[in-house]
Structure 1
Amino acid sequence: MPHRLGRAWRSSGWRLAVLLLLAMAVGMLTHALFACLLAALLATLAHGAWRLARYSRLLASRRQIPPADGSGIWDEVQNTTRKRQIAAVGDKRRMLRLLRSFRDAAAALPDAVVALDREQRIQWFNAATVQLLGLKYPQDLGAHLPNLVRSPRFGEWLLREGDEPLVDLPSPVSEDLRLSLRLIRYTDDRALLVARDVSQLMRLEQVRRDFVANVSHELRTPLTVVHGYLDMIEPEQVPEYEPILHELRNQSRRMTQIVEDLLTLSRLEARSDLPQERISMRPLLEALRREAAALSQGAHEVTTGIDDRHDLLGSSKELHSAFSNLVSNAVRYTPAGGRITVRWESDGVGARLSVSDTGQGIPAQHLPRLTERFYRVSTSRSRESGGTGLGLSIVKHVLQLHQARLEIRSEPGVGSTFACVFGAERLLEPLALAEAP
């Protein structure tokens, strides 16, 4: 390309030089040298203006530029533009093929996919959207999506910009269809709504919950009988079996606690809300301190702190149970001589109850899985401590029912902090301030 452009410039330069030499020769013969040179220059400018006007008309026509058969600079510009025009058309066709391919792939997805603009108006949707969300093509194109999917939960979720997946939403088509929705923003003013049919998963989850609840309930009675008979046997009667009886009693109590925790989890999973009452945080922290001191039996330093004056709105029974789980874990996994701190403090947008310890700490790779049922960081350590592996699962479910979350920070050899984080909507002014005139 640079070689051809240089050749075109040389060709145009030679032509101009020849024209000027001819004008000079004619001017010298006619004794009008200046007039002839001026006429040659004006002719050159006029020819350039004509080629520029012609080139502008070709660009404005939006048609394919024809090839030029000359060797001048304007011919080279025209041919170069033609080649780039052809390349651009090829690129555009390839892009269109890619777009059609992506559109066809999205249309074939079993999940509903809806393209939305900034005002949440429908730009496009695939065939699965008709079965899952009940949209109609083409009359629903351009419509405001919340006007078509009439659900308060769905509307509030869209107002929050789909900050987290919306799970278990009944489909507008049928109550038997349960949907899981995600809002994926791919530009500042464009988003994709993806809805998946999770009806079968929800049914399987319900079967699992029922199975766990029923099995746990059925195990409770025989375990109670076994535990009762073990308590009736006095070690003095069979001294050679005293270690065995001691281990049987410990394991019986542990199995009973596992069954009780499983029943608690099943009960929490079956709830969509909990009683709402005012929880005064200062007496609650004092109760947690006493529980930790009783469990520790003087082996740890237990302190509390309050840096936020708000009370909490929620279920006193369930939250006390969740907080107690965190406190008992801190005592259980902190060596003697360690320090445990329970603190109620503001986090800028809400408040948090944190339980910190100076225990062994937890490696980072285990932190995301700590709230899974029966997950063990160390099996031997858990057995020695007598934990059931369900405490943090219970904490997570209780907090979810309070629109709160569990944050975990830990460093091996330093200690851990488990924090229950509550939004501002869960905070209440203390009664003394709320009743003040």
Structure 2
Amino acid sequence: MPHRHHFAHPHPARLTLLALGLLAAGALAGRVWHTVAVGVASAAVLTTVFLLQQIRHLANAHMAFTQSRLKSSPDRFMIRSRRLAASLNDLRVTASRLPDALVLIDRNDRIRWFNQAAEHLLGLRRPDDRGIKLDTRLARTELADWLQTGGIDPLNHVTAPGQPSRQIQVSLLPYGQQMRLLLARDISHMTRLEQVRRDFVANVSHELRTPLTVIHGYLELLDPEDMPDHVQILNEMRLQSKRMEQIVEDLLTLSRLETQNQVSEERVAITPLLATLRKEAEALSQGRHTIVLENHCERDLLGSMKDLHSAFSNLVSNAIRYTSTGGSITIRWQCNEAGAIYSVTDTGFGIAESHLARLTERFYRISSSRSRESGGTGLGLSIVKHVLNLHQARLEIRSVPGQGSTFACLFGPERLLKAESVEHDGPMTDLSD
């Protein structure tokens, strides 16, 4: 830990290494925690499902054995029957004592069985709640609404009906013949750890702002003409300090988005926003690409102008960074029956299908060397995902290696506004070199 007086004359290389180390620690903490959390959750689900499958298989075996009892001797039948019954009872006791809440519901959504954890987390009571419809028992909760919609997708970070201080994750799985199994897991501890990670990244990023500003300021004071033998080193340090500043800004943006529950409800005029995006694309491209702008939808958006511009601009800058000289970038705004789509299509390197699902993870790299050469921070698509989530929109990615990619932001009709009349200087479709 350096002494306070060392900062009187900060050494650029030393401060740069310090900044890199702290940021790497924050990034590693986030990625390791995400991996551990996913692994623990997946293992718990698989263990629970395996256990319940064993119960069902043993019950079926016991029934089949009972039906064939006439073909066996009475003594042999009794021994095997008791053995199966004991194994089945052991598994039932184990299931009843699992830390995850389990509720078995029939084809009519009535409660058939539940374990002890379901009493604590979901507030169920035996024997009164057996035979009652689960959504009726959980009325006026988020779970009831979720069940009535079919419970197709898992529900995360829900307040436990039985313990309001707890957060649970809920899944609905098919089980047996036309029955379903509700699985609820207490994720309060993981939620607290995730909050610690977010606070750590936000605090480190905020604290790095000052030393990075000092580094950048001292580097600007150094004149390459005064040190001709170190021109290349000086230029590289300036480049990396700017990149570090961008990483810090992106981390702070992500931290802010993660703590937001809603965005400002303002009119976002699409036509001038698209014109701004085209100008930014041309400035970043420096004439190396063909920039195409297409506006086929006379609708504005309801949301945050700052956040939407950040998300849309990230998609444009990514397309330019990963498209070779001579390629084309198409920025498109169009309507359909489901709402409206903002998309950016490039003729770049393309992305293999195996990478698509992980592109919005923090610092996820398809090619580390290519990302460093392009100057990207590895956080742009994470920002896009969070902005779209806050606008009840989603990101769709289509890509073919060697042919290019399309990143599309899909907005529902509730976010669309009839565009205000704007005087245009040219046609709705703009082609610039």
Question: Does TM, normalized by the shorter one, top 0.5?
Answer: yes
**How do 1:355-374 and structure 2 match up within 5 A?**
355-374=344-363
Equivalent residue in structure 2 for 1:135, among 124, 135, 143:
124
Alpha-carbon shift at residue 189 of structure 1 (Å): 5.4
The 3-state SS of whatever aligns with 1:369 is: coil
- Distance in 1, matches of 2:291 and 2:387, equals 24
Q: Which amino acid aligns with 2:413?
A: A
Equivalent residue in structure 1 for 2:148, among 154, 159, 173:
159
The 3-state SS of whatever aligns with 2:271 is: helix
In the other structure, the counterpart of 1:86 is 70
Please say if 1:350 is aligned against 2:339: yes
- Select the structure with the greater relative contact order (CA < 8 A; seq sep ≥ 6): 2
In the other structure, the counterpart of 2:314 is 325
Structure 1, residues 181-232: CA drift from partner, whole Å, max 9, x if none? 1122448953222110001100100000000001111111110011111111
Alpha-carbon shift at residue 101 of structure 1 (Å): 6.6
The 3-state SS of whatever aligns with 1:417 is: strand
The 3-state SS of whatever aligns with 1:292 is: helix
Please say if 1:168 is aligned against 2:168: no
The 3-state SS of whatever aligns with 1:372 is: coil
- Distance in 1, matches of 2:70 and 2:268, equals 73
In the other structure, the counterpart of 1:236 is 225
Please say if 1:340 is aligned against 2:324: no
- Distance in 1, matches of 2:91 and 2:412, equals 40
In the other structure, the counterpart of 1:421 is 410
Please say if 1:271 is aligned against 2:255: no
In the other structure, the counterpart of 1:212 is 201
Change in CA separation of 1:183 and 1:281 when aligned onto 2, cut-off 3 Å: farther
Q: Which amino acid aligns with 2:321?
A: R
- Distance in 2, matches of 1:110 and 1:219, equals 42
In the other structure, the counterpart of 1:259 is 248
Structure 1, residues 26-46: CA drift from partner, whole Å, max 9, x if none? xxxxxxxxxxxxxxxxxxxxx
In the other structure, the counterpart of 1:402 is 391
Equivalent residue in structure 2 for 1:284, among 244, 255, 273:
273
Change in CA separation of 1:221 and 1:84 when aligned onto 2, cut-off 3 Å: closer
In the other structure, the counterpart of 2:427 is none
More moved, 168-177 vs 101-110: 101-110
Rg: which structure is higher? Answer: 1
In the other structure, the counterpart of 2:234 is 245
Change in CA separation of 1:208 and 1:87 when aligned onto 2, cut-off 3 Å: farther
**Alpha carbons 1:150, 1:172 under 8 Å: kept:** no
Gaps of 5+ in 2: 1-66, 422-433
Alpha-carbon shift at residue 99 of structure 1 (Å): 6.9
Gaps of 5+ in 1: 1-82, 433-437
The 3-state SS of whatever aligns with 1:355 is: strand
Equivalent residue in structure 1 for 2:183, among 166, 170, 194:
194
Output the TM-score relative to the length of structure 1: 0.73
Structure 1, residues 354-412: CA drift from partner, whole Å, max 9, x if none? 11100011122222211111111111111111111111111111112222221111111
Change in CA separation of 1:431 and 1:142 when aligned onto 2, cut-off 3 Å: farther
Change in CA separation of 1:308 and 1:153 when aligned onto 2, cut-off 3 Å: farther
More moved, 372-381 vs 140-149: 140-149
Change in CA separation of 1:242 and 1:390 when aligned onto 2, cut-off 3 Å: same
Alpha-carbon shift at residue 296 of structure 1 (Å): 0.8
Please say if 1:312 is aligned against 2:301: yes
The 3-state SS of whatever aligns with 1:291 is: helix
Count of residues in correspondence between the two structures: 350
In the other structure, the counterpart of 1:32 is none
- Distance in 2, matches of 1:425 and 1:237, equals 60
The 3-state SS of whatever aligns with 2:386 is: helix
**Alpha carbons 2:141, 2:161 under 8 Å: kept:** no
Output the TM-score relative to the length of structure 2: 0.74
- Distance in 2, matches of 1:389 and 1:360, equals 17
The 3-state SS of whatever aligns with 1:263 is: helix
- Distance in 1, matches of 2:169 and 2:196, equals 19
In the other structure, the counterpart of 1:180 is 169
**Alpha carbons 2:136, 2:144 under 8 Å: kept:** no
More moved, 344-353 vs 249-258: 344-353
Structure 1, residues 156-200: CA drift from partner, whole Å, max 9, x if none? 322322232211111123332110111224489532221100011
Between the aligned residues of both structures, percent identity stands at 56
Change in CA separation of 1:412 and 1:112 when aligned onto 2, cut-off 3 Å: same
In the other structure, the counterpart of 2:36 is none
In the other structure, the counterpart of 2:192 is 203
